């Protein structure tokens, strides 16, 4: 049995007994076969001494049970690693940052507590997947749209807390968070925003509340266990245009982005635009022979969305060889008539990404200025870095979910049976983060294998940001039981 750091076998056995009292004996998992499901099956350390293996998993069903688990962990100083659905593949899956942690698995907390068509919002628990929410909207016949990640088994709460990106009008998921319930490390429960007012009718309608806005403290952090979260939806539009702008040459990326920037900032284009390499022939490397494609969505009445699309085509017509394509859909919508791109733009959850993305990868995604030259320069710089490691980089997916910045992805495949290649992949991604920091490209989010390196890049004023976060960690979680090492934030005893 793998033990939590610094805990004797007898004390751990006692703690497991108290966990069983808290959540029921069937929901405390210690068998190796059960715990294997909480390892990162797509990660670079799989099957090596560096693999992060949990000591147990505990699956509460209610916020009261979460409180009990947290209090037991505090009394024994057992590190907990919180997961929602545990499907964050490519970023660590359900595996803990610190080997020997007990996984606090929240997937049993899968209730959709509120779903309002009039206010276009929902209140959900962490175990609610995108599929779950979408199916409930459909079951009730509500005229609501959501943003659905692919793969759609991802948690609505988990994806939002990690600031995941979609492609619809709601693609900037963190911007659509509104109010949360959090269990703190001492077992206390706090509700943010308007949730601080008992009996409020605006918890999921008005996110700011009174006083300091603290929701961001629980995003990509280890300061609490989020047990409920509000998320904004959108009214179903009368019509929807799925539009595609294809440019033929790899260097056309510069104009593609520069023309898009004022369109996004003026809200002519409002969806979270995805730009990706186009492969014209099987086996073509990204960006070399196929150019780029931007996915745009327009939503509303026919006359208005047609005018917007006409305006966009006029703006892009200056690029030689540009091609346009659009697909028109009207309510009531039939997802079976949509291809995977239209489903993305309309926020329909799907598993389609699995057919195009090998989750056996490690990523280093970065924030760039909304500039074609910046994106193009990054490709050139990173290609030279990749060459140092015997690889090539011709560009990956770029997301314009924000009107003033871009998120650009870089990744490297992970092998199931080649530890040396995986060490090379980790070293490459560390170098990508290092070089990115030198160029001012900050980390967007990071998996468990690279969290320390990502935080280290935020080095202004002798790492003042990390020192501030460590101060908060020590105040809110003095025993360091919650998600040790998450985002590079370690408890005092492990620094």
pLDDT digits (tens, 9 = 90+) for 52-86: 999 999 999 999 999 999 999 999 999 999 999 87
pLDDT of residue 105: 97
- Expressed in angstroms, the distance from the first to the final Cα of the chain is 25
Token pair for residue 430? Answer: 């560390």
Does the pLDDT of residue 305 top 90, yes or no?
A: yes
Tell me the fold of 239-332. Answer: Vanillyl-alcohol Oxidase; Chain A, domain 3 (3.40.462)
| Cα gap 462→149, rounded to integer Å | 37
The residue with tokens 């990956």 is: 396
Residue 149: pLDDT band with limits 50, 70, 90: low
Worst-scoring range by mean pLDDT, 392-396, 464-468, 476-480?
Answer: 392-396
Task: Fill in the DSSP letter of residue 321.
Answer: T
Q: Bin 461: left if φ > 0, else alpha if -120 < ψ < 50, else beta.
A: left
| Cα gap 273→168, rounded to integer Å | 8
| Cα gap 316→54, rounded to integer Å | 52
Token pair for residue 148? Answer: 């659905």
Which of 76, 299, 386, 444 is labelled catalytic? 444
Query: What does DSSP say about strands 361-363 and 405-408: parallel, antiparallel, or unpaired?
Result: unpaired
Q: What's the distance, CA 448 to chain centroid?
A: 13
| Cα gap 439→68, rounded to integer Å | 46
Which of 91, 134, 299, 316 is labelled catalytic? 91
**Domain map of the chain by residue range?**
9-107, 112-235, 239-332, 360-447
| Cα gap 329→350, rounded to integer Å | 18
Residue 88: pLDDT band with limits 50, 70, 90: confident
Residue 289: pLDDT band with limits 50, 70, 90: low
Q: Are 87 and 40 in contact (CB under 8 A)?
A: no
pLDDT of residue 212: 96
Fold match, 9-107 / 239-332: no
Tell me the fold of 9-107. Answer: 3.30.43
pLDDT of residue 283: 52
Say how many C-beta atoms besides its own lie within 10 A of residue 461's C-beta. 7
Task: Fill in the DSSP letter of residue 187.
Answer: S
Torsion of CA 275, 374, 394, 41, to 10 degrees: -70
- Report the SS3 class of residue 206: coil
The residue with tokens 């595996």 is: 95
The helix or strand, by DSSP H or E, that contains position 252, with its residue range, turns out to be: none
Q: Are 85 and 107 in contact (CB under 8 A)?
A: yes
* pTM score, whole prediction: 0.94
pLDDT (tens digit per residue) in 203-250: 999 999 999 999 999 999 999 999 999 999 999 999 999 999 999 999
Residue 94: pLDDT band with limits 50, 70, 90: confident
Task: Fill in the DSSP letter of residue 103.
Answer: E
Task: Fill in the DSSP letter of residue 92.
Answer: T
Say how many C-beta atoms besides its own lie within 10 A of residue 25's C-beta. 10
Q: Are 4 and 12 in contact (CB under 8 A)?
A: yes
pLDDT of residue 286: 47
Quick one: which of 456, 255, 278, 447 has its CA closest to 364?
Answer: 447
The alpha-carbon radius of gyration of the chain (Å, integer) is: 23
Token pair for residue 400? Answer: 């314009």
Q: Are 37 and 198 in contact (CB under 8 A)?
A: no
pLDDT of residue 298: 98
Q: Is 112-235 CATH 1.10.510.10?
A: no
pLDDT of residue 85: 84
Judge if the upstream peptide bond of residue 109 is cis by omega within 30 degrees of 0: no
Annotated active-site residue 45? The verdict is no
| Cα gap 326→305, rounded to integer Å | 11
Tell me the fold of 360-447. Answer: Vanillyl-alcohol Oxidase; Chain A, domain 3 (3.40.462)
Contacts of 435 (CB under 8 A, 6+ apart): 381, 382, 385
Q: Are 476 and 185 in contact (CB under 8 A)?
A: yes
Q: Are 91 and 448 in contact (CB under 8 A)?
A: yes
């Amino acid at each position: 049995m793998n033990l939590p750091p610094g805990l004797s076998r007898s004390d751990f056995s006692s703690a497991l007994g108290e966990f069983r009292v808290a959540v029921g004996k069937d929901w405390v998992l210690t068998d190796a076969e059960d715990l294997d499901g909480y390892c990162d099956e797509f990660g670079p350390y799989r099957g090596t001494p560096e693999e992060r293996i949990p000591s147990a998993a505990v699956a509460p069903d209610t916020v009261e049970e979460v409180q009990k688990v947290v209090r037991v962990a505090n009394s024994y100083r057992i590190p907990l690693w919180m997961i929602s659905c545990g499907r964050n593949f490519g970023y660590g899956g359900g595996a803990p940052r610190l080997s020997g942690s007990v996984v606090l698995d929240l997937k049993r907390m899968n209730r959709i507590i509120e779903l309002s068509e009039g206010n276009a919002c929902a209140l959900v628990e962490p175990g609610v997947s995108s599929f779950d929410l979408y199916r409930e909207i459909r079951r009730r016949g509500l005229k609501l749209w959501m943003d659905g990640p692919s793969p759609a088994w991802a948690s609505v709460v988990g994806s939002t807390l990690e600031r995941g990106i979609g492609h619809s009008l709601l693609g900037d998921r963190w911007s659509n968070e509104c109010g949360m319930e959090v269990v703190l490390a001492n077992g206390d429960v706090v509700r943010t925003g308007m949730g601080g007012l008992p009996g409020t009718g605006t918890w999921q309608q008005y996110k700011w509340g009174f006083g300091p806005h603290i929701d961001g403290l629980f995003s990509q952090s280890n300061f609490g266990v989020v047990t409920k979260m509000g998320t904004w939806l959108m009214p179903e539009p009368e019509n929807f245009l799925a539009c595609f702008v294809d440019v033929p040459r790899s260097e056309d990326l510069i104009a593609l982005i520069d023309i898009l920037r004022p369109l996004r900032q003026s809200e002519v284009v409002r969806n979270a635009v995805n730009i990706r390499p186009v492969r014209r022939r099987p086996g073509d490397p990204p960006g070399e022979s196929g150019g780029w494609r931007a996915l745009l969505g327009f939503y509303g009445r026919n006359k208005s969305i047609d005018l917007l699309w006409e305006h966009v085509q006029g703006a892009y017509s200056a690029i030689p060889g540009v091609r346009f394509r659009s697909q028109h859909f009207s309510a009531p919508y039939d997802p079976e008539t949509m291809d995977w791109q239209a489903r993305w733009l309309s926020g329909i959850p799907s598993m389609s990404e699995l057919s195009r993305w090998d989750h056996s990868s490690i990523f280093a995604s970065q924030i760039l200025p909304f500039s074609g030259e910046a994106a193009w320069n990054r490709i050139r710089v990173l290609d030279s870095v990749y060459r140092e490691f015997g690889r090539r980089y011709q560009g990956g997916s770029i997301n314009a979910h924000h009107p003033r910045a871009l998120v650009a992805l870089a990744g490297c495949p992970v092998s199931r049976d080649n530890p040396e290649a995986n060490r090379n992949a980790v070293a490459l991604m560390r170098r990508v983060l290092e070089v990115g920091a030198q160029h001012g490209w900050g980390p967007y989010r990071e998996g468990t294998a690279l969290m320390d390196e990502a935080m280290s890049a935020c080095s202004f004023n002798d790492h003042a940001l990390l020192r501030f976060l460590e101060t908060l960690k020590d105040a809110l979680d003095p025993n360091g039981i919650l998600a040790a090492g998450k985002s590079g934030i370690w408890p005092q005893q492990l620094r």
